[in-house]
Amino acid sequence: MEMERIAESGKTRHPLSSAGGRCGGVGRILLDESIIHTRLDGLAGQICSDYAGLDLTVVTILKGGLMFAADLLRRLDMPVHLDFLSVSSYQGTSSTGDVLFHHTRLPHVNGRHVLLLDDILDSGCSLHAILHTLRQKTHPLSIKTCVLLRKDVPRRHQITADYVGFDIPNEFVVGYGLDYKEHFRNLPYIGVYKEPVRRP
């Protein structure tokens, strides 16, 4: 089962994994590079077959979706347009529930099929707000969602995702695009965030 493979993967450490200093570090590795890349092969195959012959625009949610998008897009053996949106709803390790759009320019997706890529589905607030805004203000032929990670939590909004890389437990994770206060995004794997040890 996927979760067993995830637990098995926590073998190696990366020199950057404690680079947060006062911002803590990585407690354990949840998904290593090879597990992520193997899953991306599968996701890409599924997306290519579902969108064969269609005009697809992949809209990546920044900054967290950056690594995921870069690795997934290179596996898509079909013509795609790329676009980006930047939002945030997190402060530290918890969601504020208020989703802020940093770039007001919305992607030009009229008459196109849209696949939204995000790093992680947690409360669902971000995807809910983005879907609502895109549906109201643009005219795509369809919108689907693809997340690398889906947390096992009750969601504030009725959102599933059409494509999911991994289902993970309810822990705060960093790496592979995901941050804690802007640290750890450049780790090549996904790990569970560990608080810094407080010295008296």
Does residue 83 carry a catalytic annotation?
no
32-61: which residues touch ligand 5GP (CB under 6 A)?
A: none
Q: Does 140 bind Mg ion (CB under 5 A)?
A: no
Report the 10 Å Cβ neighbour count for 35: 20
Mask: binding to Mg ion, 39-68, rule CB under 5 A, as x and -? Answer: -------------------------x----
Q: Does 109 bind ligand 5GP (CB under 6 A)?
A: no
Nearest residue to Mg ion by CB is 64
> Which residue, 111 or 152, is less far from ligand 5GP as judged by CB?
152
Cα 19 to Cα 52: distance, rounded to the nearest angstrom: 42
Query: Mind giving me the DSSP string for 137-192?
Result: H---SEEEEEEEEEE-S--SS----SEEEEEE-S--EEBTTB-BTTBSTT-SSEEE
Binding partner selected for residue 35 from ligand 5GP, Mg ion, none, CB under the kind-specific 5 to 8 Å limit: none
Mask: binding to ligand 5GP, 83-102, rule CB under 6 A, as x and -? Answer: ------xx----x-------
